[in-house]
Amino acid sequence: MLKIEDLKVALDADAGLVRAIDGMCLSIERGETFALVGESGCGKSMTALALMRLLPDNGRITAGRLDLDDEDVFGLPEAQMRRVRGGRIGMIFQEPSTSLNPVMRVGDQIVEAIETHTELRGPAARAKAIDWLRRVGIPEPERRIDEYPFRLSGGQRQRVMIAMTLAAEPDYLIADEPTTALDVTIQAQILDLLKDLQRERQLGVLLITHDLAVVSGMAHRVALMYAGQVIEVAPADEFFASPKHPYARLLLQALPDSAKRGQALAAIAGTVPPLWLDFEGCRFAPRCDRVMPACHGNVPELQALSATHSVRCRLYTHPEQALPAPAAAAAVPRERQASVAAGRPLLEVKDLRVRFALKKPLFGGSGMRYFNAVDGVSYSIEPGRTLALVGESGCGKTTSGKAIVQLLRRQATIEGQALLDGQDLFTLEGDALRHARRQVQIIFQDPFASLNPRMRVYELLEEGVLALRPELDAAARRRKLETLVDQVGLRRDALERFPHEFSGGQRQRIAIARALAVEPRLIVCDEPTSALDVSVQAQILNLLRELQREQGLAYLFITHNIGVVEYIADEVAVMQAGRIVEAGSADAVLGAPRQSYTRTLLAAVPRLQR
């Protein structure tokens, strides 16, 4: 058994002492998958780093024990810790691109782990590395073992990480967001692989993730973290069928699906509090919909409701003060939902083709070669409607969106038509193109990368208004931007702050405000919620839905999250290898798909098992 007792971790920061983990107690048995879930900033990944004693330079373990078969890991000298790290406890890191050495062949990295933690050497270690690459599903492992990481896809790099970790034959495995940002098909393959290897080797797995659907299909037990503390521990089936903590209940209600179309998702107000604060009472109380006077007293303890289910909440120690649980909002029947009458499309894309030139061979060769990223795509979007473009990474979804908003004119050859109110966007120049840019805007996948870190929010929002709305004077621009931040749910003092001062969800709201600043009619949403927590995702989806209802906006929604598609899309187009293979209403495509690729894609989507 791997047993954590009263673990406390602190980090030194400019704002003060950050108590990243505050009194964690958990245990993981061989053959068990224990899931640690919660929002960003709650302490999940810091827990993993603490267990491996890989904390950053400003971090330290201030209390607690980690017993590995009755041996205190935290008390071992570093020389002995190297035996435990990798040999007894393996770890799959969240981002394989930054975890694999870019100047070492993948085979050398796997062999290094094998030779460090087993008795195999030389050709025997290499043979074992090839065997593990084959077991994790890498094609042609005898050839791929000599590749560098950049030559592999994201899913293949994650498989190499799994092979490198498991080739050392650990007893326990820490998997930190092992499938984040992967396509659903690759995610399903990796999760099935972990299940098979766990059964084969009786691995104890600590699965760290914010994807509750993955947890419901993988975990035996679940621990929910909030602001550095574990607030609920339960068997997975009990946790999803009957969550006890108000935070757990709200998280599950915030998950988008087709049953919630026409109603607001249960977004949790506010954000996780900074962990340098001196907390009094319950840390979730400022955001809780069932808060009561007892919540502001002493810090609640984790108490057992049964032999297997524990919760940190005053509802169960002061039931006389408890208010009734708010009823979930009722879904509006499809036939009663507001819709825009069918008419002339706002945007018609006809036979869109996007080609990128490949580099010529260094020592000559025959002519220029091209890569067809988008190959004859056609679709249309009506005002006030949402078309979801779905498919695996590399299928051409983002490329088609960028082509429409004129971001690929210099990088690619674009053919076909994109008719905005009958006017072809691809033929416009000068003032006509500038006017069209007012009508079509884009929200990028990563708001932090798309917002200039040296500009304040006011400057970021004003930049587009200055370029595309020159008739507005300074006072009118100020009024407009103040109204805009109100509209996206930010305080007006946000205008004077820089992007790094905001959370991921707040930065995405800034990106939405920037797109709205010039009053567009169509917004291309490129994976706007892919890296967000469940509760923040719910806030953003509610905002997009509200803006569409108020302003009649049309959305081209690019995503691989089928739950989001079920909730927000009116029509769906499925892309594969640059082509649309199936398109139609959301109900038809998702409910009764006709193409085998669509059926495969939907079958791979993890579903919440209640």
Place of tokens 């900074």: 274
519 neighbors 481 (Cβ within 8 angstroms):
no
210 neighbors 534 (Cβ within 8 angstroms):
yes
Q: Is 287 among the domain residues? A: no
Q: Is 361 among the domain residues? A: yes
Distance CA 24, CA 223 (A): 10
**Which pLDDT belongs to residue 593?**
94
Cβ neighbours of 154 (radius 10 Å) = 16
165-181 pLDDT per residue, tens: 989 889 899 998 887 65
Of 133, 167, 201, the position where a domain reaches its end is: 167
**Which pLDDT belongs to residue 381?**
95
Q: Is 11 among the domain residues? A: no
Of 167, 195, 219, the position where a domain reaches its end is: 167
Supply φ then ψ for residue 27, to 5 degrees. -145, 145
Question: How many domains would you assign to the chain?
Answer: 2
**Which pLDDT belongs to residue 531?**
66
Of 141, 167, 193, the position where a domain reaches its end is: 167
Helix (H) or strand (E) holding 558: strand 554-558
Describe the strand order of the beta sheet including 386-390 as a list of residue ranges.
Answer: 440-443, 522-526, 554-558, 386-390, 571-576, 579-585
Q: For residue 114, give its domain range.
A: 99-167
Q: Is 28 among the domain residues? A: no
Distance CA 262, CA 60 (A): 48
Distance CA 600, CA 610 (A): 23
Per-10-residue mean pLDDT of the chain, 610 residues long, equals 92 86 92 90 88 91 91 90 89 81 94 92 94 87 91 80 89 86 77 86 90 90 94 95 92 87 82 84 90 87 92 84 61 43 80 84 64 92 94 87 90 92 89 87 84 92 88 89 85 88 80 88 88 80 89 91 90 94 94 93 82
Beta-ladder partners of 7: 24
Q: Is 329 among the domain residues? A: no
DSSP SS3 for 291: coil
Which amino acid type is present at position 582? E
Q: Is 598 among the domain residues? A: yes
Which letter, b or e, does each residue of 554-588 get, where b requires 16 or more Cβ atoms within 10 Å of its Cβ? bbbbbbbbbbbbbbbbbbbbbbbebebbbbeebbe
Q: Is 192 among the domain residues? A: no
Q: Is 438 among the domain residues? A: yes
Provide the token pair at 276.
């340098």
Describe the strand order of the beta sheet including 2-13 as a list of residue ranges.
Answer: 16-28, 2-13, 59-68, 71-72
CATH number (domain holding residue 542) = 3.40.50.300
Helix (H) or strand (E) holding 160: helix 154-166
User: Beta-strand (E) ranges in 362-452?
Assistant: 369-381, 386-390, 413-420, 423-424, 440-443
396-447 pLDDT per residue, tens: 898 999 999 988 888 889 999 999 988 999 998 888 888 888 899 999 877 7
pTM above 0.75, yes or no: yes
**Which pLDDT belongs to residue 166?**
87
**Which pLDDT belongs to residue 338?**
40
Distance CA 254, CA 335 (A): 23
